[in-house]
A and B are shown apart, each in its own frame.
Chain A
Amino acid sequence: MNHLFPIEHSYLIPLLPLLGAVISGFFGAKWLKGKSHWPIWLGVGASAVLAGWLMAGMIQHAHAEHHGAIWLNQNWYNWISAGNFSANVGFLFDPLTAVMLCVVCGIGFLITVYAAGYMKGEEGYFRFFAYLGLFIFMMTMLVMGNNFLMMYLGWEGVGLSSYLLIGYYYQRPAAREAAKKAFLVNRIGDFGFGLGILLIFLAFNTVGFFDGGRGDLGVLRLAASNLADLSAFQVEALKWIPFLLMLGAFGKSAQFPLYVWLPDAMEGPTPVSALIHAATMVTAGVYMIARCGTLFVGNTAAMWTIALVGAFTALFAATIALRQFDLKKVFAYSTVSQLGFMFVGVGVLAPVAGVFHLVTHAFFKALLFLSSGVVMHAMLGELDMRKMSGLKRVLPITRWLMLIGCLALAGFPFFSGFFSKDEIVAAAWARHSLLGLVMLFTAFLTAYYTFRLYFRVFEGPLVQPQAPVPGHGAHDTPAAHSTDMAPDAHGANSARDAAAAHDAHGAHGGHDSHHSHEPALMILPLIVLALGALLAGYLNWPEYHGRSWSLGEFLGQSPSLRLAHTTAVARLGAGEIAPVPFGQPEITDARVVMQQQAFHLRMMIISGLVSALGIYLAYLMHLKDRAASEKLARRFAGVARLLEGKYWVDEIYQNGIVEPLRRLAKAFYAVDRYVVDGVVWLIGFVPQLAGFSIKLVSQRGYLQGYATWMLFGVLVILLLVLW
């Protein structure tokens, strides 16, 4: 494996996108202009090819190794060396890295292609692509890093790119606020992560994952050793480290207390929402927990916290998504909810299921976001689903793409989301049936809100937003039907959103009047993503357990998952382990395998039925009789308002945390301004006053007076000398 080109020259994978970002960032404004996407296309494309190559080589190697762990630690240079602290710039290659790299670079490339079509003619086109390249660089650093410091670097870096891209339309106050919010909320989580890394270093004296960098063992291997071999402090630290790291994961992956930034992040351009806020960056928390499994699994309380927070977030966000009317907002809450699923996956000791859902979710959620981007493009920046209907006549291709994405998200049988979600539900069920039930119910809600959106937007009578937005005058819009639409219950809010969306596309003026609603540059990447959304589920076809090409088997050869498994077995006993492939290919007991398969089959049938039921309910309420849902909403006006207000979490945070902090800051400001500054001013004033009064006596403009003072001074010196 050492001689594989992408590993020998692994630095190319992060550096090529960075190079692209530098080129389009520095030369884009003046020279590249509308061609600024080329450096990024080439850079990210090349990284995607390298990632695919790496994956192919890794799979071959995995076959050769049978069921052994495969990993390669590669140090490029010593980054920091201070006292007994040492951190390398180095990469770790194992199946988990390979999978993450393929997702990041592959989907990243598709989205950059789409973005060139979507962002065409925007102001600051080069800026967008430079940020995108920077993001891919940071994300690859995050998933490739072989120590916690590298991971933290990438972690902060993607946060920065996310901030820059959310605030891309910085002229709009909403975008600025959203960018700041995302950054600040992430800081809370990152603070925990940073403390976690400090504690890890204190306890284990290294920050390397598997290799300490100085010929010693890395943290993850040390943490996997017998409890008896660990010092008391290390055992104590292992109780706290997972909680600190978890805080970082909750922030980055938008889990319950810290999820509020993600829906607001939809202020960014749609490709950004797809890439960063759905497919890649937000899954970093899941990746981190999967990577550091050995630190987590021994700690039952931490694992339960992860699972419960994930389950709660999944349910909570899914209910909010029920009453959102903005396409992107629905998908944003859906992303939060699906991330909750992934956390449940890693929390119930089924990291393979979590990572598997991460992969399939990356495909179908990117597809859904980008498709809604096509809708937004065609509908003149409109995203309110109450103002559109029957769009399948206008956007025939997008309709099919969206349908595939929705079926995958809804977990309809044989689409990708079905397999991955089913594994998580099964694992959760095996852990505790109540947890499984909550996940099943959430899956039902997911199917319902997904198809509510689909039926509203693409089926039924054709309705398009009428008033062309200024700057879009050139669009030839078919005369819009002004039929009745749902009563505007949440008028003010949606009007603001719509206005924001209009602004976003205000720069689109000057399009020729006969361009298609579905430009090829935007549709082609979507077709690839749709294929992924259709087929990614077969990567981990559960029946093919014994075969070594399933994703679970492959991931099972990652040292992270393997060590986590052995640690979990050692600390908790085999009974605690979820009966889903936890990367434990050594299960050869045919009876156990059979049991697992039967369990899975039952689970699959149930979750398939649940999904179909959700879709059917959506069909009843949103296609057959659209008034029905509004009637229901009026019946339960309180609940509807609660959901539309997103449980007023933002308001609670605003009034409960932000405002008190602001008042505290004001008080501190007053103390600083009047007390501290006053003392400083007083100290400065004393010599000033003294100088002034002496000046009144001595400095009067008489030359002779000065001479007298000089003489006096000389006399004093003389006196002192002669004394």
Chain B
Amino acid sequence: MSDLVLQHYLAVGAILFVIGLIGFMTRRNLIVMFLCTELMFQGVAVNLIAFGRYHLAESSQSFFASQSFVIFLLVIAAAEASLALGLVVLLFRSRQTLDAEAWRELL
């Protein structure tokens, strides 16, 4: 078995992203759709950290930059998740359903 290389990580990121994308496109439950966006997000994060790990020398000053960037990104994602879930709750309260179709007339 060969060593792990960059391409492996990228493949994991891409798979995560595509799963998220397909989920987003096919599901109509707001919470599930939201979870799918989070999946896509994490796919991108994996990509980022993989590039950081492989392209920057360990001695370089910005070696940890990519990793701290991803942590920063996760924090933002968490904040965003709390906001989005709050919104979803509000939407549910006004329509008594989580179906995205219920908000069609907002077009």
Contacts and interface: CB of A to CB of B under 8 A. Distances in A.
Contacts of A699: 107
B3 interface: no
Interface of B: 21, 24-26, 28, 33, 100-101, 103-107
A707 interface: yes
Contact of A711 (B21, B101, B107): B21
A225 interface: no
A77 interface: no
Nearest to A704: B25
Interface in A664-723: 699-704, 707-708, 711
A707 B24 contact: yes
B104 A702 contact: yes
Contacts of B107: 699-701
Classify chain A: how many residues form its interface, as a range. Answer: under 10
A690 to B, nearest CB: 18
B24 A701 contact: no
Given A703-B100, A704-B100, A707-B25, 6 more contacts: A699-B107, A701-B106, A702-B100, A703-B28, A704-B26, A711-B21
6 contacts: A700-B107, A701-B106, A703-B28, A704-B24, A704-B26, A707-B21
Contacts of B25: 704, 707-708, 711
A221 B19 CA distance: 94
Given A707-B24, A711-B21, A701 B105 contact: yes
Contacts of B104: 700-702
B105 to A, nearest CB: 7
Contacts of A711: 21, 25
A708 B21 CA distance: 10
A701 B28 CA distance: 12
Nearest to B103: A701
Nearest to A702: B104
Contacts of B103: 701, 703
Q: What 7 A-B pairs are tightest by C-beta distance, nearest first?
A: A701-B104, A701-B107, A703-B100, A704-B25, A699-B107, A707-B24, A707-B25
A702 B106 CA distance: 10
Most chain B beta carbons < 10 A, residue from A699, A700, A701: A701
A708 B24 CA distance: 10
A707 B33 CA distance: 11
A703 B107 CA distance: 10
A701 B102 CA distance: 10
B102 to A, nearest CB: 10
A700 B100 CA distance: 12
Contacts of B101: 702
Contacts of A700: 104, 107
A702 B104 CA distance: 6
Nearest to A711: B21
A699 B106 CA distance: 10
Contacts of B24: 704, 707
A446 B21 CA distance: 102
A43 to B, nearest CB: 68
A300 B48 CA distance: 94
A460 B104 CA distance: 95
Contacts of B106: 701
A92 to B, nearest CB: 75
Nearest to B33: A703
Nearest to A703: B100
A111 B103 CA distance: 78
A343 to B, nearest CB: 77
Contacts of A708: 25
A656 B25 CA distance: 76
A704 B99 CA distance: 12
A153 to B, nearest CB: 61
A699 B104 CA distance: 10
B97 to A, nearest CB: 14
A630 B100 CA distance: 97
A572 B100 CA distance: 99
Contacts of A701: 103-107
Most chain B beta carbons < 10 A, residue from A700, A703, A711: A703
Most chain B beta carbons < 10 A, residue from A699, A700, A704: A704
A711 B21 CA distance: 9
A700 B107 CA distance: 6
Contacts of A704: 24-26, 28, 100
Contacts of B28: 703-704
B59 to A, nearest CB: 32
Nearest to B36: A707
Contacts of B26: 704
A711 B107 CA distance: 19
B75 to A, nearest CB: 25
A714 to B, nearest CB: 10
A630 B33 CA distance: 103
A707 B105 CA distance: 17
A711 B18 CA distance: 11
Contacts of A707: 21, 24-25
Nearest to A706: B107
A702 B33 CA distance: 13
A606 B32 CA distance: 116
A696 B89 CA distance: 30
A705 B71 CA distance: 32
A704 B107 CA distance: 13
A711 B104 CA distance: 20
A595 to B, nearest CB: 102
A550 B100 CA distance: 102
Nearest to B27: A704
A708 B25 CA distance: 7
A701 B26 CA distance: 15
